[in-house]
Amino acid sequence: MGELRAVLCDMDGTLVDSEKLWDVAMDALYDRLGGVLRPEVRAATVGGCAENTMRIVYDDLGLEPDPAAMAESARWLHAYTGELFDAGLPWCDGARELLDGLAAAALPMALVTNTPRMLAERALDSIGRHYFAVVVCGDEVARGKPAPDPYRRAAQLLELDPRRCLAVEDSPTGAASAEAAGCAVLVAPNAIPVPLGAMRHQVGSLAGLGLADLHEIYTRLSSPREGAWLPADTP
């Protein structure tokens, strides 16, 4: 398959520990809509695009799936989350060090997120735009994750075959999107477990990982000689 040419990173729960802020915002949305958010419903929305999230919320609450009302709820959710983002975003373990190492090696990186551009830009105030040659947001593609569109678009903008890219993800939704696009996937679960897969290598966190590790993981996953996936010896 050839060597690794780029790393495509998810944002929420992968680079920054923002899922806890989304928890707060989702709780507030449910309160606004007259309900109580259950853990299993929150888990179903992790990593999802706005449209899918609103469908899940409105179905859970038994509300009429009126497109205008759902769009307004999504706008409110994003505005509230943006206020939380502005207070600063904590890094996930090892994420900043990994980005610094990849940047020093001049390996191209893309940020690939289901988060709308407006919110992603506010998050990038904390993360740093200089890391990424490309940023693809959920409101800039026809279909968000778990569809392959975001990762395919990122690879297209980098002028690369997705199969030459390693995606870094934390959720089942994101891993499915990257895999469907043809990427090998490094998974560091955050809020919820992520199923194993033939094109997925799972680690406990990004702490301690560097360029050489990513090359090794990519080579193992992309080689037809490797056969079945084997889990990493990580907690």
Q: How many residues are there in the chain?
A: 235
Inter-axis angle of helices 117-127 and 67-86, nearest 10:
10
Q: Give catalytic residues, as residue numbers.
A: 10
Report whether 24 contacts 18 (CB < 8 A).
no
- The helix (H) or strand (E) run that includes residue 63 is none
- Which residues have C-beta within 8 Å of that of residue 189, sequence separation ≥ 6? 170, 171, 202
For 1-46, the DSSP string reads: -----EEEE--BTTTB--HHHHHHHHHHHHHHHT----HHHHHHHT
Q: What is the DSSP string of 184-201?
A: EEEE---SS-----TTEE
Distance of alpha carbon 34 from its chain centroid, rounded? 29
